[in-house]
Amino acid sequence: MPLSAVPGDGAKAVDDAKGVDDARATPASVLVCGMMRSGSTLLCDLLSLPGRSYVMSEPMIFSGWDTARYEEIRAAATRLQVELPALPDEAVRAGTLPPQFFREQVEPALAALDLWGMKEVMLDTWRPLVAYHDFDHLLVPVRDLRDVALSAIDLVRGAYLAFPGGRRMRDEAWLVTRLAHDAHEIGQLTERPHRLIRYEDLTTRQEVRERLAEDLGLARLGATNASRETTTAGRRRREVEKHGGAPSPLAVARHRHEPAGPARALADYAWRLSPGYSERFGYDIPEPLAKPWPARMACGPSGHPAPWPLVQDGGWLGPRGLDPWFARRRARILASANIAPDTRVLDIGCVLPALRFMLARGCTYLGVDLTGEPPLIVQANWLEGELPALGETSLITALGALEFVPRPADFLQALRRAGRPVMLTYHARDDTGQVLREELGWQNHLTRAELLSLFEQCGLRPQVLWRFDGYQSLFRLTPE
C-alpha cells in the first residue's frame, strides 16, 4: 500500500509509492527533516520501538559527525535494544568521523530492524542527506511559525545554546534569521515526494498517529521519551512531565496565550517574515511586513532570505536597515564593552540570556522576563514595573526593552526605586524615520526630548550616546 496523506491532516504531497513490504530483505528507511521545535523529536520517539525500529536524533553526519555525538546515538540505541558498533581506536583519537562511517559501520548493524532512520533539523544538510541515501520515506514535520519561535526561545534558554566569545551566539537575531532560512528550506524540501506531518494533527489526532504507524509497517508507536537522553536531559524530563509522557495538545497554538511583550513580538515578526510558509502548510496567513526585511535586502538577489553563513555567525551585526532583533545584538555588544569586570547584572526583558556570554570576567548574570525558569531567568511582570528581589545587583540593564512598555513612566519610576545604575537603550521616534513602530510590537513612541524629560521627571540622570548604530541610543541612568 503506498504511503498517502490522511484526509484533512494538511498534507499537500505524498510519498512516491515505495510501499511497505514485510518480506523485504532490508529494513525500511525514513528521514525526518523539519524545522526545529516542529515535532521531529516526537516523531523519533514514536517511530522507535525496542528491538524493532530506531530513528536516531540528529547524527549530523554532514554537519558535525563526531565521536561524542556518535556515543550519544549509540547509548540511545542500546536503550532500545539496538546494538551499534563501538568506535575504532583511530576514530577515538581523531575525535571526528567521516560520513562513510555511517554507511560502512552503522547501517549494517541496523539491517535486522523493521525500520531505521534519522531526523535532522539542520536544514542546510538535507540535500547531501537525500543524495547520500535514497530514503524510503521522507517525513516533514511542520508547525505554526509563531509556536516554533516561542518553543525555540524555551529551547535556547533551557539548553544554554550560546557560547562565550559570540561567534556562535544564539540570540534573538540568530533565531529570527534561522527561522527565515528554515522556512525557505522547508519550501524547497517539500517539492520532493514526502509526507507532511503537522504538529497540530500529530499531537491531537489519534487516527493520524495510527495511520502513520500502519503506513510505515509498525504494529504500534513507541513511547514519547524513548529515543534519546542527552546533555539536555533535565529539560527533556521537564517536557515529558509537562505533556504526561504522551502526545499532548498543550503546546498547540501557544502563541494565543503568550503575554504581550518582546517574546510574542518576536514570534509575530518571524511569522510575518515568511507568509508563504503559512500559506503552503495551511496556517493563518499573516499580513507581510509593510517594509521589506532589511536582512533579506542584505542577502542579494538570490531570493534566499538568509544564507546559512549569516545564520550561523553570531558576529554578524546585521543589515543596514532597522531590525529590532539585530538592534538588540548591537546593543548588547556595546553595553557589555562598558560593563566592568565583577559587575552583578540584572537584565530586564532579556527574552534570551545572550548578554550572559558577553560580559567581562567575574561578572554574574540574572535575566528577568515575563516567563522563564531560575536559575538563569526569573519571572516578573516588568512591563508593569514589577522587579524581582535585587539582592547584590550592582547594575540593571534594559536593552531593547523600553519600547515594549505600555506606560514608560511607571517602568522608569520602578528603576528609580531600585536605586541601582541602569544601562538602557531606546529607539527615539525622531531617530527611526518612517519605520512603522507598531508593526514591531512597540508600545510607545517617544522623541528624544520627551525621553529626556521623562528621565528627569522620574529622577534618573542620563549620560547619552545618541544613535550609536544609526537608530538606537544608549543611556546610563543614575538614580538621583
**pLDDT digits 0-9 by tens, 186-244:** 999 999 999 999 999 999 999 999 999 999 999 899 877 544 444 344 444 455 455 44
Greater confidence, 10 or 176? 176
Mean local confidence (pLDDT), 148-172: 80
pLDDT band at residue 464, thresholds of 50, 70 and 90? very high
Mean local confidence (pLDDT), 138-147: 97
- Mean pLDDT lowest among 24-28, 291-295, 358-362: 24-28
Alpha-carbon distance 431 to 428, whole Å?
Answer: 5
- pLDDT attached to residue 202: 94
Share the mean pLDDT of the chain. Answer: 87
- Mean pLDDT lowest among 218-227, 242-251, 358-367, 397-406: 242-251
87: burial class by Cβ within 10 Å (0-12, 13-18, 19+)?
A: middle
**Residue 26 confidence (pLDDT) above 90:** no
Q: Which domains does the chain have, with CATH numbers?
A: 324-479 (3.40.50.150)
**Residue 143 confidence (pLDDT) above 60:** yes
- pLDDT attached to residue 333: 93
Mean local confidence (pLDDT), 4-13: 35
**Residue 338 confidence (pLDDT) above 60:** yes
- pLDDT attached to residue 251: 84
**Residue 330 confidence (pLDDT) above 80:** yes
Mapped onto helix, strand or coil, the DSSP state of residue 310 is: helix
Alpha-carbon distance 163 to 185, whole Å?
Answer: 26
Which grid coordinates belong to 414? Answer: 520602578
- pLDDT attached to residue 18: 35
- pLDDT attached to residue 164: 58
- pLDDT attached to residue 397: 98
Cis before 324? omega within 30 = no
- Give CA angle at 367 (362, 368), nearest 5°: 150
- pLDDT attached to residue 230: 42
CA dihedral for 437, 440, 442, 446, sign (positive or negative): negative
- pLDDT attached to residue 325: 95
Whole-number percent of the chain with pLDDT over 70: 88
- pLDDT attached to residue 301: 62
Which grid coordinates belong to 296? Answer: 533579506
pLDDT band at residue 269, thresholds of 50, 70 and 90? very high
- Mean pLDDT lowest among 153-162, 220-229, 342-351, 371-380: 220-229
Alpha-carbon distance 53 to 39, whole Å?
Answer: 18
Q: Which of 20-34, 75-89, 91-105 has the highest mean pLDDT?
A: 75-89
The 8-class DSSP code of residue 105 comes to: I
Mean local confidence (pLDDT), 79-86: 93
Q: How many CB atoms lie within 10 A of CB 257?
A: 8
Percent of the chain that is helix, strand, coil (3-state, to 5): 40, 15, 45
**Residue 22 confidence (pLDDT) above 80:** no
**How far, CA to CA in Å, does 139 sit from each of 15, 147, 186?**
9, 20, 11
